[in-house]
Amino acid sequence: MYLDKNIRLILNILQKNGQGYIVGGYVRDVLLGLEPKDCDFVTDIEYEKLLNIFSEYSPKEIGKHFGIIQIKIDGAHYEIAKMRQDKGIPKDRKEQEIEFTENIYEDLKRRDFTINAIAFDGEKFYYGDSDSQKDIENKTLRFVGECKKRIEEDPLRILRYFRFLATKDLKYLDEDVEEISKYRELLQNLSVERIREEFDKIITGKNAYNILRILSDKKILEIIIPEWKDCRGFNQRNIHHIYTVDEHILQALKETDMDLITRLAIFFHDIGKPKCFSLGEDGKGHFYNHELISAEIAKEIMERLRYDKNSIEKVYRIIQYHLVYGIDNEEKFIKKMMNRLEKEDMLRYFQVLKADRKTHRPPYNFEQIERLEKIYQDIVKKQLPISIKDLNISGKELLENGFKQGKNIGEVLKYLLNQVLEYPECNTQEQLLKLALEYKKGRE
């Protein structure tokens, strides 16, 4: 296995003073034929000595209880931990009772998955589970030892299991998925931040559809997002739809890039449908204002999972305007959307519109969406005015022409923008002042 000079250096220092092994994701990914990322090490060297022998590499204590330090070489960070055994099942991983060991196999046995229970000393591989070598060769994901015990040690391993399946091309056993689903209630004991971090990786994974389908069917998804329960299996009873609400959402995920904001927007875009369902006299299902209700529910869920405000706002806006039927003035609509969304979010917005449309009943009609995209591209190319700052008149100039200070100025500017969005040729100082004075006169 190829090791760069820094990794070789760390191994050499460790092995001059005791034992030293590369463990975890680095070894796993190399053996799976993937590009490895972070490289972690384990050793039997005492903590204080560990700090001393790496003193020239800015050692940082990041987990004295677990015997972990972090060093920095050529701008890259590496973690080195003392080999250990975990004792008992803690209520919190931070309170885990541990016992340090000099046996690499004991350290590997405490790990979550068999493909993670592998160490490398620079020459030889060490397998902590009897299935480790077979599973890494067959690319199979399996817990080390008893599934129940591993999950009770840390329930987050439920989501980690599915995250690995979502992001890597790994096989799984149906009986393992059945067993894992029995312990789904334990996810309620985790912090929302830990849940969110794993959910983000699942939803942006290349196998997101397949894995979210399993999480939905096994009623795991509704533990972390209770609102999903109403969507699961919900019959839309409408000729335009061929899928239930949950299947429509998950199918739409397959039509988008693996970008977090885009995936969150499409995942939540119809989550409010069950709440606003009504049945017409013709027996057809209707979902009036579902885009607004879905946007509000998405906001509530994202706030509960403690997403940052910027991400929440982006997802909210995209969902809020994802219905584009019956637009009177398409150019004006797009200009307003450009005022609400940044450039990258406009691209996400069009992707969501297409993904939504493509998962309705065929034949698919993209004419309107393509027309809206063309309008957007023309506006960008021609640099047409789309916001108050693009107006060729300012609040100061309005004050100089007899307008009063206060919210009245803001109202006038909004009125002028609305006019310019529809009639770009009006964006001259002379014409805008004339429109402003007419507006003022009409309000007196």
Q: What is the DSSP string of 5-39?
A: HHHHHHHHHHHHHS-EEEETHHHHHHHTT------
Mean of pLDDT over the chain: 94
pLDDT bin (cut points 50, 70, 90) of residue 90 is low
Would you place residue 27 in the very low, low, confident or very high pLDDT band (cuts 50, 70, 90)?
A: very high
Q: Is residue 253 part of a domain?
A: no
Both 74 and 128 in a single domain? yes
Q: Are residues 70 and 95 in the same domain?
A: yes
Number of Cβ within 10 Å of residue 8's Cβ equals 11
| pLDDT given at position 94 | 57
- How many domains are contained in the chain? 3
Same domain, 286 and 305: yes
pLDDT of residue 96: 62
| Percentage of residues of the chain with pLDDT beyond 70 | 98
pLDDT of residue 88: 62
Global pTM?
Answer: 0.90
φ, ψ of residue 388 to 5 degrees: the values are -55, -35
CB-based contacts of 389: which residues, under 8 Å, 6+ apart?
A: none
Q: Round to whole Å and give the CA distance between 229 and 243.
A: 16
- Residue 70 pairs in a beta bridge with 60, 79
Residue 19 near residue 83, CB atoms below 8 Å: yes
Cis omega (within 30 of 0) for bond into 90: no
Kindly state whether residues 337 and 405 are assigned to the same domain. no
Confirm whether 283 is domain-assigned.
yes
Mean pLDDT of 174-186: 98
Domain of residue 414, residue span: 388-442
pLDDT for residue 93 is more than 70: no
Specify if 220 maps to a domain: no
273: left (phi over 0), alpha (psi -120 to 50) or beta: alpha
Show which of 384, 409, 433 is a domain's final residue: 384
Instruction: Please check the confidence at residue 269 and state whether its pLDDT lies above 90.
Output: yes
State the virtual CA torsion across 247, 248, 250, 255 in degrees, nearest 10.
140
Tell me the pLDDT tens digit for each residue of 343-357.
999 999 999 999 999
Tell me the pLDDT band of 3, cut-offs 50, 70 and 90: very high
Q: Is pLDDT above 80 for 89?
A: no
Q: Are 344 and 317 in contact (CB under 8 A)?
A: no
First to last CA, the chain: 81
Under 8 Å between Cβ of 231 and 245? yes
Question: Does 63 have pLDDT greater than 80?
Answer: no
Supply 182's token pair.
């029995």
